[in-house]
Amino acid sequence: MEYEVVIGLETHVQLKTKTKMFCGCGTTFGAQPNSHVCPVCLGYPGALPSMNKEAIRYTVMAGLMLGCRIAEYAKFDRKNYFYPDSAKNYQITQLDYPLCIGGGVEITGEEGEKKTIRIHHIHLEEDVGKLVHRAGASGVDYNRAGTPLMEIVSEPDMRSPDEAIAYLNALREMMIYAGVSECNLEEGNMRSDVNVSIRPKGQKEYGTKIEIKNMNTFSGIYAALQYEIERQKAALNAGQALRQETRRWDTELFETQVMRSKENADDYRYFPEPDLMPISLTQEQIATWAKDLPEAPAKRRERMIAEYGIPEYDAGVLSADRALADFFEAVAKHCGNGKLASNWVMAEVLALTAKTGVELSASALTAEMLGELLKLLESKTINGPTAKALLPELFEKGGNPADIVKERGLGQVSDTSAIEAFVDAVIEANPKVVAEIKAGKMAAMGFLVGQVMKQSKGKASPQIVQELLKKKF
Ligand code: ADP
Ligand code: MG
Ligand code: ZN
């Protein structure tokens, strides 16, 4: 039997607010356990929550980035359950009036086609604390309890593990672009509940879904999906019915295991949160926030390809990071040659950041400096090797490339008679190499070019050197 895979993801994205969702406690990662807690996030009797407006704004920004409709009326609800990492015994979340509705994420599908994974809604809720297990004892760290989380719920539109990963990558990129989350996977900023089912090819109804809880690495999600799809296929092929259940991924055994059979919303005894007012956003408020929304990464890629004439690959590398894309665009505008700018940013600048471990934003190099350097190169005022030699200095100390070139006399020598003098001297000094070339060993030519460049202190135009040398043979 041939099966079709159906995947839907519920992704928790931690907002980068400075304080928690309903109290003033800080959200810094890695602080001393239970040092960011107060009566509100510990659920003391009588403590009242107050809403973090920045979290509302971030969620709206995320919704706008994903093309959601922003609700004019939203409210919070209590989801009641006992779990030791949630001191209140309930979680404040949004059940039936979430902040953002609809929207979608564009990915490249299995067959290379463009495909939209629809978003069902985004709701805002608070995170729980962390259980810490040590030899013989367990503790709870409530620092994370009450941190604002968006839950982005997709429709069951993905058809393979690869599509699920493509969706998560695109979603992560969009959230980072929107500036609402660091989406740092190691710090647990982005965690997904993975829903997966299979159905006979051609069948309209969905199969029984399995939910794998709380996955925080993409590689884990991929492996868990592959395992679960095979497990479900084997069960159906053996004539066994699947039960709707919640499973967990065992990272050591590399298999999913049953946690519990599926609970219903009724089990949580949801009711409207009595201590918080509903949220009503005006269109004016939403429009004001929308002004700060940056261009979506996929749109930006398309525009950069069209505007600067760069290949899709370059656009992909450059747009992966908003600051890098901004830098590239400023360089391209300054020097007026998009392809040259992208070559230099991708090859030279990224190599420097990798080599030095210094991020571009922390370096002394500005887009104006690199743009100026490339202008000098374009106008043949300096040659390629000189430009390359100057870049690390600009990266470390900064400076005005035109001034440096003038001060140190680094201008390219394009004066043919001056270069010819070097060429003649080099030919005279290397009779053995000259003989080799005359005997047909053209590879030896490179040596002579190098010698002439050296004589000119690296300033000769490499093109003219080559032309002149060729004429001599
Ligand atoms: P629940 O009420 O159990 O949470 P929902 O209908 O709200 O279920 O969907 C939760 C998530 O599961 C969504 O991301 C949705 O896309 C996905 N989903 C729903 N049905 C299926 C299915 N049959 N197979 C795979 N994913 C599914
Ligand atoms: Mg669910
Ligand atoms: Zn608190």
| Residue pLDDT, tens place only, 235-246 | 999 999 999 999
Nearest CA to ligand 1 atom 22: 209
Ligand 3 centroid distance, CA of 25 (Å): 4
Rounded to an integer, the average pLDDT of 43-58 is 96
Q: Are 188 and 216 in contact (CB under 8 A)?
A: yes
pLDDT band at 455 (very low <50, low <70, confident <90, very high): confident
Arithmetic mean of pLDDT over the chain: 94
Nearest CA to ligand 1 atom 19: 156
Q: Which protein residues touch ligand 1 with a CB less than 6 Å away? A: 6-10, 153-156, 195-197, 206-207, 209
Ligand 3 centroid distance, CA of 246 (Å): 31
Q: Are 268 and 95 in contact (CB under 8 A)?
A: no
Rounded to an integer, the average pLDDT of 67-93 is 94
Query: Which of 250-259, 260-269, 281-290, 310-319 shows the lowest mean pLDDT across its residues?
Result: 260-269
- pLDDT of 458 higher than 70: yes
Most confident of 316-325, 439-448, 464-473: 316-325
Residues 427-443 as b/e (b if ≥16 CB within 10 A, e otherwise) read beebeebbebbeeeeee
- pLDDT of 172 higher than 90: yes
Please give the pLDDT value at position 408: 85
Q: Are 186 and 59 in contact (CB under 8 A)?
A: no
User: Which of 233, 270, 220, 174 is closest to 6 using CA atoms?
Assistant: 233
Q: How far is Cα 412 from Cα 386, in angstroms, rounded to an integer?
A: 8
Percent of the chain with pLDDT over 90: 80
Of ligand 1's atoms, which has the minimum distance to the CA of residue 154?
Answer: 14
Under 8 Å CB-to-CB from 278, ≥6 apart: which residues?
Answer: 73, 74, 75, 76, 97
Ligand 3 centroid distance, CA of 177 (Å): 28
Please give the pLDDT value at position 262: 65
Of ligand 1's atoms, which has the minimum distance to the CA of residue 207?
Answer: 23
State the number of CA atoms in the 13 A half-sphere of 398 facing the CB.
9
Tell which wins on pLDDT, 421 or 200: 200
Q: Per-residue pLDDT tens for 285-331?
A: 999 999 999 999 999 999 999 999 999 999 999 998 999 999 999 99
Collect residues with CB below 5 Å from ion ligand 3. 23, 25, 38, 40-41
Per the listing, tokens 């002149």 go with: 468
Of ligand 1's atoms, which has the minimum distance to the CA of residue 156?
Answer: 16
Rounded to an integer, the average pLDDT of 432-457 is 89
- Closest-lying ligand to the alpha carbon of 225? 1
- Closest-lying ligand to the alpha carbon of 263? 1
Estimate to the nearest angstrom the gap between the alpha carbon of 137 and the chain centroid: 37
pLDDT band at 112 (very low <50, low <70, confident <90, very high): confident
Ligand 3 centroid distance, CA of 151 (Å): 21
User: Which of 158, 244, 235 is closest to 208 using CA atoms?
Assistant: 244
Ligand 1 centroid distance, CA of 343 (Å): 45
Ligand 2 centroid distance, CA of 321 (Å): 31
Residue to probe by mutation, ligand 1, list 4, 171, 195, most atoms within 8 Å of CB: 195
- pLDDT of 19 higher than 90: yes
Q: How far is Cα 260 from Cα 258, in angstroms, rounded to an integer?
A: 6
Ligand 1 centroid distance, CA of 4 (Å): 16
Of ligand 1's atoms, which has the minimum distance to the CA of residue 208?
Answer: 23
Dihedral class, residue 29 (left if φ above 0, else alpha if ψ from -120 to 50, else beta)? beta
CA 97-100-103 angle, 5° bins = 135
With both helix axes pointing from N to C terminus, report the angle between 322-335 and 312-319 in degrees, rounded to the nearest 10. Answer: 120
Helix (H), strand (E), coil (C) string for the chain: CCEEEEEEEEEEEECCCCECCCCCCECCCCCCCCCCCCCCCCCCCCCCCCCCHHHHHHHHHHHHHCCCEECCEECCEEEECCECCECCCEEEECCCCCCEECCEEEEECCCCCEEEEEEEEEEEEECCCEEEEECCEEEEEHHHCCCEEEEEEECCCECCHHHHHHHHHHHHHHHHHHCCCCCCCCCCCEEEEEEEEEEECCCCCCCCCEEEEEECCHHHHHHHHHHHHHHHHHHHHCCCCCCCEEEEEECCCCEEEEEEECCCHHHHCCEECCCCCCEECCHHHHHHHHCCCCCCHHHHHHHHHHHHCCCHHHHHHHHCCHHHHHHHHHHHHHHCCHHHHHHHHHHHHHHHHHHHCCCHHHCCCCHHHHHHHHHHHHCCCCCHHHHHHHHHHHHHHCCCHHHHHHHCCCCCECCHHHHHHHHHHHHHHCHHHHHHHHCCCHHHHHHHHHHHHHHCCCCECHHHHHHHHHHCC
